Structure 1
Amino acid sequence: MEFNKSVLDCMQQLRRRLRDEQQLNIRLSQPDAIQAMLTAYLCSGDEMTRDLGKQLATYSDMPALFTPPSKPAGRSGPSVRIYRGQRVLG
């Protein structure tokens, strides 16, 4: 991965936001700093943090691994629960 100004700026902003939100201490000099930030942004509830994480994921070599799964549009049909090991329509 090539580090340029935009990548480093994105990493610094995301690092600050994760430190404030989740009390994570990620140093940019860590060998797994990008992976740690990408893993942590998936747990964030803040929209700005998620946008920065998505931006960093596109800069990295593995964006498909760290993009959050899309939410299903809606379920059609009854819900299914598990009760005492048996499937129960809910």
Structure 2
Amino acid sequence: MEFNKSVLDCMQQLRRRLRDEQHVDIRLSQPDAIQAMLTACLCSGDEITRDLGRQLATHSDMPALFTPPPTPATADRNGHSVRIYRGQRVLG
């Protein structure tokens, strides 16, 4: 993979955000730095961090590695709204 300015800028921003957010220390010189950053982005609750992860995945030719977890369904088969309460699906 070729490291250009946009990739390095994205990696530096992401590194700072992950260090502040999750206390994860990823060095840019690590051989698996991109994979470690993408994995940490999947665990992030911050939308900006996840967007930076998506951006890094497209720059690094690894978009398949960055697949965010599915969002919970908002409606069931009958059209009723559904919420998640303490890990259980409840009709809303």
Correspondence 1:33-72 to 2 at 5 A: 33-71=33-71, 72=73
Secondary structure at the counterpart of residue 21 of structure 1: helix
More deviation, 61-70/6-15: 61-70
- The percent identity for this pair of structures is 81
Structure having the higher Rg: 1
> Which residue is equivalent to 2:77?
76
State yes or no: 1:22 paired with 2:19. no
Q: Which runs of 5+ in 2 are unaligned?
A: 79-92
Q: How many residues align?
A: 80
Pairwise CA RMSD: 2.1
Secondary structure at the counterpart of residue 25 of structure 2: coil
Q: What's the TM-score, normalizing by structure 2?
A: 0.76
Q: CA contact under 8 A between 1:57 and 1:67: conserved in structure 2? A: no
Q: Which runs of 5+ in 1 are unaligned?
A: 78-90
Moved over 6 A (4+): none
Q: Could you say which structure has the higher helix fraction?
A: 1
Q: CA contact under 8 A between 2:42 and 2:69: conserved in structure 1? A: no
